[in-house]
Structure 1
Amino acid sequence: MTAHPAIAGIPLVLGGNVFGWTAQGDEGFAVLDAFYEAGGRMIDTADVYSAWIPGHKGGESETYLGQWLDSRGVRKDMRIHTKTGMLGGKELYEPDRVLKSLDASLDRLRCDSVDLYYAHRDYDELPIADIVAAFDGAVRSGKVASLGASNFNAERLGEALAVADATGAEPFTALQNEYNLVARAAYGAELQQLCVSRGIPMLPFFGLASGYLTGKYRTEEDFAKSSRGGRARELSGDNGPAVLDAMDAVADETGASHAAIALAWLVRQPGIPAPIASARTVAQLEELLAFTRLELSDAQLARLGAAAG
Structure 2
Amino acid sequence: MTDSRGGADLMASPTATAAPVAWRSLGPSPIRVFPLALSGTTFGWTADESTTTAILDRFIELGGSFIDTADSYAGGRSEIMIGNWMRRRGLRDRLTIATKIGKSPDNPGLSARAVEAAVTASLDRLGVTMIDVLYLHIDDDAVPLEETLAAVDELIRDGRVRAFGGSHHTPDRLLEARIAAGQLSVAPMIALQNHYNLIQRTEYESGLARVAAQLDLGVMPRFALEGGFLTGKYRSRADLERHGRGLEAAKHLTRRGIRILHALDRVAADLDATVATVSLAWLLSRPRVVAPVVSVSEAHQLDEVMAAPSLALGRHHLTELDRASAQR
TM-score (norm 2): 0.86
Q: Which residue of 2 aligns with 1:296?
A: 313
State the partner residue of 1:129: 146
| 2:277 is the alignment partner of 1:253 | no
* 2:208 match: 191
Matched, 1:103 2:120: yes
Alpha-carbon shift at residue 211 of structure 1 (Å):
0.3
| CA deviation string 1:125-179 (max 9, x = no partner) | 4433333233223323320000110111111101101111121111111000000
Matched, 1:44 2:54: no
Q: 1:150 to 1:237 in 2, by over 3 A?
A: farther
Q: 2:56 aligns with which of 23, 32, 43?
A: 32
1:215 aligned onto 2:232: yes
Secondary structure at 2:172 match in 1: helix
Q: 1:24 to 1:254 in 2, by over 3 A?
A: same
Distance 1:24 1:91, change over 3 A: closer
Change (3 A) 1:236 1:146: farther
CA distance in 1, matches of 2:147, 2:307: 42
Structure 2 residue 189 is the aligned partner of structure 1 residue 167: no
Residue of structure 2 aligned with 1:20, choices 37, 44, 50: 44
SS in 1 for 2:218: coil
Shift of 1:6: 7.3
Q: Which has the higher strand share?
A: 2
Q: CA deviation at 1:95?
A: 0.4
Residue of structure 1 equivalent to 2:166: 149
| Greater than 6 Å deviation, 4+ residue runs | none
Letter in 2 for 1:3: S
Q: State the 1:46 CA deviation.
A: 0.1
Change (3 A) 1:128 1:68: same
Asked if 2 retains the 8 angstrom alpha-carbon contact of 1:113 and 1:142, the reply is yes
In 2, distance between residues paired with 1:74 and 1:186? 36
Identity of aligned residues (%): 37
**Corresponding residue number in structure 2 for 1:3:** 25
- Residues 281 and 312, structure 2, Cα contact 8 Å, conserved in 1: yes
Within 2, Cα distance between the matches of 1:229 and 1:258?
20
Match of 2:114, SS state, is: helix
**How many Å separate the matches in 1 of 2:254 and 2:89?**
41
TM-score using structure 1 length:
0.91
Q: Determine which of 66, 74, 78 is the counterpart of 1:61.
A: 78
Shift of 1:236: 6.2
Matched, 1:119 2:139: no
Q: Aligned residue for 1:55? A: none
Between 296-305 and 22-31, report the one with greater CA deviation.
22-31
Q: Which segment drifts farther, 19-28 or 157-166?
A: 19-28
- Residue 118 of structure 1, CA deviation: 0.6
Cα contact 1:9–1:39 (8 A) shared by 2: no
Aligned pairs, number? 302
Partner SS state of residue 159, structure 1:
helix
CA RMSD of aligned residues (A): 2.1
Q: What is residue 9 of structure 2 aligned with on the other side? A: none
> Distance in 1 between the 2:232 and 2:325 partners?
15
SS of residue matched to 1:176: strand
